[in-house]
Amino acid sequence: MRTLVTGANGLLGSVVVETLLGQGFDVVGGYHTDPPQFDTPLHEVDITDSERVATLIDDYEIDTVVNCAAFTDVDGCETSPELANKVNGVAPGVIAEVCAERDIDFVHYSTDYVFAGDSDERYTEDGETGPVQEYGASKLAGEDSVRDADSDALILRLSFVYGARGDTGELTGFPQWVASTLAAGDDVPLFTDQQFTPSRAGHVAETMVSLLEAGATGTFHVASRSCVTPYEFGEEICALIDGDDRLVGSSSMSDLNREAARPQNSCLDVSKVEEELGRPQPTLTDDLEELEGAFSDYMS
Ligand SMILES: NC(=O)c1ccc[n+]([C@@H]2O[C@H](COP(=O)([O-])OP(=O)(O)OC[C@H]3O[C@@H](n4cnc5c(N)ncnc54)[C@H](OP(=O)(O)O)[C@@H]3O)[C@@H](O)[C@H]2O)c1
């Protein structure tokens, strides 16, 4: 496999590059503003510039494009819906068309935020969509544009992506914030009124490779089996670092004044990917154990 990974300096992108390199594949990384730290060809690529993407595909004889690039600032998308639609809605479809014309594989990442989150049931791949904010609407438009352009594309919907960066091994985002705050002896207020199925970036990348090797196409939910609140997620992190669980406090989404609404329960049903690959998806506890080394700076 000779792969072009766009968004290679993002959390997921860096982990996808590291995973592919680790499995012996040739990788070209496309980054937006700052380059990641990999010993592999790296090029500045804005995914809205499809000619640039096509040139890289042809120059490197790429056979698989993995699009990890997206405008992921949920509140930023609310105030810049045109940019959200350009990057998340239109560009993925144009890249899918470039791939379809060349008969090469295209992998695209989407989100649980395509759902309204007002159901108690887990969402299956063919569940009714209904985004409640511009980010989800733009990502749903992206799914549709990819499907229209390339019926063989692989679309993986994720939920609350977390992990350690692929190039530096550095823990980022929610787990880093929770662990560092607890390690400093400060309170961590966490929502008890939101639920999702966290996707560990490393497992997502491995699952993507397995799906490509299995020749899978279409839409799959790739997330953990555990449907949890941020509060429950924080409790697990606290246990992992042997922190003081009295510091884990509860809060509500309504405590924050944010531009964009969030779905209340966007837990994904993962049985389709489990059946396709003949193995279970991990639980949150399994995933956190895999990441244990990245928490070493915060252990009590
Ligand atoms: N994070 C989550 O909780 C979550 C949940 C569900 C699904 N997802 C999906 O998972 C995928 C990866 O997300 P992530 O968590 O890795 O996000 P991330 O860390 O924010 O990475 C996104 C990357 O895309 C790049 N980018 C933004 N605009 C671009 C453009 N026009 N052209 C090229 N690159 C551009 C960003 O670069 P700059 O920073 O330099 O702009 C960044 O490196 C996305 O499709 C996202 O929608 C994420």
Which among 244, 106, 252, 281 has a CA at the least distance from the CA of 190? 252
CATH number at residue 91: 3.40.50.720
- pLDDT tens digits for range 143-191: 999 999 999 999 999 999 999 999 999 999 899 999 999 999 999 999 9
N-to-C CA span, the chain: 42
Asked if the structure places residue 41 within a domain, the reply is yes
Q: Which residue in 112, 101, 65, 71 sits closest to 89, CA to CA?
A: 71
Cβ atoms within 10 Å of 175's Cβ, excluding its own:
25
b/e burial code for range 68-89 (CB count within 10 A of at least 16 → b): bbbbbebeebbebeebbbebbb
Please give the pLDDT value at position 177.
96
Q: Which of ligand 1's atoms lies nearest the C-alpha of 87?
A: 31
Q: What is the pLDDT of residues 120-141, one digit of tens each?
A: 999 999 999 999 999 999 999 9
Q: Which of the listed residues 9, 11, 12, 17 should we mutate to test ligand 1's pocket, taking the one with most ligand atoms within 8 A of CB?
A: 12
CA–CA separation, 291 and 198 (whole Å): 13
Res 36: pLDDT: 98
The model's pLDDT over 253-282, given as tens digits with 9 standing for 90+, comes to 999 999 999 999 999 999 999 999 999 999
88 CA → ligand 1 middle, Å: 9
Q: Is the CB of 124 under 6 A from ligand 1?
A: no
CB atoms near residue 67 (< 10 Å): 26
Residue type, 209: V
What atom of ligand 1 comes closest to residue 12's alpha carbon?
16
Cα distances (Å, whole numbers) of residue 274 to 13, 44, 156, 240: 23, 36, 13, 26
Is residue 74 within 6 Å of ligand 1 at its C-beta? no
Q: Which of 156, 145, 152 is nearest to 50 (CA)?
A: 145
Number of domains the chain is built from: 1
Which range of residues forms the domain containing residue 14? 2-161+197-221
Residue 42 included in any domain: yes
**pLDDT, averaged across the chain:** 97
Q: What is the pLDDT of residues 41-95, one digit of tens each?
A: 999 999 999 999 999 999 999 999 999 999 999 999 999 999 999 999 999 999 9
Of the chain, the percentage scoring pLDDT greater than 70 comes to: 100
181 found inside a domain: no
| Residue 216 resides in a domain | yes
Please tell me the residue having the least CA distance from ligand 1 atom 21. 10
Q: Which residues contact 51 (CB under 8 A, 6 or more apart)?
A: none
121 occurs within a structural domain: yes
Confirm whether 253 is domain-assigned.
no
Residue 180 lies in a domain: no
Distance 246 CA to ligand 1 centre (A): 34
Checking if the pLDDT of 286 tops 90, the result is yes
Residues annotated catalytic, as ranges: 135
Judge whether 9 lies within some domain.
yes
Which atom from ligand 1 is nearest to the alpha carbon of 72?
Answer: 20
Going 78 to 163 to 204 to 251, the CA torsion angle's sign is negative
Predicted local distance difference test score (pLDDT) of residue 300: 82
Q: Residue 275 burial (CB < 10 Å; 0-12/13-18/19+)? A: exposed
Q: pLDDT tens digits, residue range 205-217?
A: 999 999 999 999 9
